[in-house]
Homo-oligomer: A and B are copies of this chain.
Amino acid sequence: MARIAVVAGDGIGPEVVAQARKVLDAVLPGVQATEYDLGAARWHRTGEVLPDSVLAELAGHDAILLGAVGDPTVPPGVLERGLLLKLRFAFDQYVNLRPSRLWPGVAGPLGNVKPGEVDLVVVREGTEGLYAGAGGSLHRDTPAEVATEESLNTRHGVERVIRDAFARAGRRERRKVTLVHKTNVLTHAGSLWARAFDAVAAEHPDIATEYQHVDAAAMFLVTQPQRYDVVVTDNLFGDILTDIAAAVTGGIGLAASGCINPEGAYPSMFEPVHGSAPDIAGQGIADPVAAVLSAALLLEQLGHAEAAARVNAAVAAELAGRTPGVALRTAEVGDRLAAHAVA
């Protein structure tokens, strides 16, 4: 029986996670869920971000389902470094998986892109690069201040995420991987990424490959998102590109993500890309689709591909049936999705 840790979090987190659990319970009866109280609320109350004891308990689960953490009153970095990134690094979640589809029924912002035409997945490296936390400053608060941030990249870390991207491409229809970096400026890291990419590509002659600089990729995601299948890239580039991909496919309200340790040595974590949205929290009007799609990624990762497919089909039906401009009720969407997923 799957053992899931649930971190509902702050703002709309609890509202959307409740729907994801409804759907999970519907398609996989008997899921054991344990709730963990983490996020801005706990930090305000206790000063704690992620106690070691909680980290150890989380490690005993098959997966983590997270809603959203944070609110504007928490200083930048506290929950990001102390909780989200801490989990990604502690649980070696090196595959940060972010699919983007322009679902039929969803009006994207691009005039020349039709629903169904965009179906890409960004495989973002999750444990290296500028997220390593290697930086510092000298002479702080003086005119002589200097601050550094260092991007750390290892062959080990780069190659394993590229391998994952090729494996995913091999299971998809178009079988194409695009490497995105900035090899013309970041020559050291760029060269490492490019050489590792070429080495893995050579083992997969059946998979098409291309390379793009990150600025060009940012542009093409807007002008021609249809061209992408699997995109593999570094941690920071992936952060930026996946928000563009979300924007062109209807917004982060629909974007799901998984922080995955493919070997299963540690639990993987699944969360909507959107934040805690304090402005609409508590009103029951947040769209739970991103949380539900994240639950589908969770199911897939735990080997329940058929259940995941049913959740995706329920989301497809839900989105196709929406009338633009009509307000939604979070719980009703959850009910519909759960009902459709078991029908």
Residues in chain A within 8 A of chain B (CB atoms)? 76-77, 80-81, 85, 107, 109-112, 130-131, 135-137, 139, 141-156, 182-192, 195, 214-216, 218-220, 222-223, 236, 239-244, 246-248, 251-252
Contacts and interface: CB of A to CB of B under 8 A. Distances in A.
Contact of A155 (B136, B144, B240): B144
Chain B CB within 10 Å, residue with most, of A185, A192, A214: A185
A306 B174 CA distance: 53
A139 B155 CA distance: 10
Contacts of A81: 184-185, 187
Contacts of A183: 76-77
A185 B131 contact: yes
8 contacts: A111-B111, A135-B188, A145-B154, A148-B189, A215-B243, A218-B241, A219-B246, A244-B244
- Copies in the assembly, this chain: 2
A185 B85 contact: yes
Contacts of A147: 153-154, 188-189, 191-192
Contacts of A190: 76-77
Contacts of A109: 110-112, 222-223
Contacts of A215: 239-240, 242-243
Nearest to A79: B184
Given A144-B155, A146-B152, 9 more contacts: A76-B184, A81-B185, A81-B187, A141-B195, A147-B192, A150-B150, A216-B243, A219-B243, A222-B244
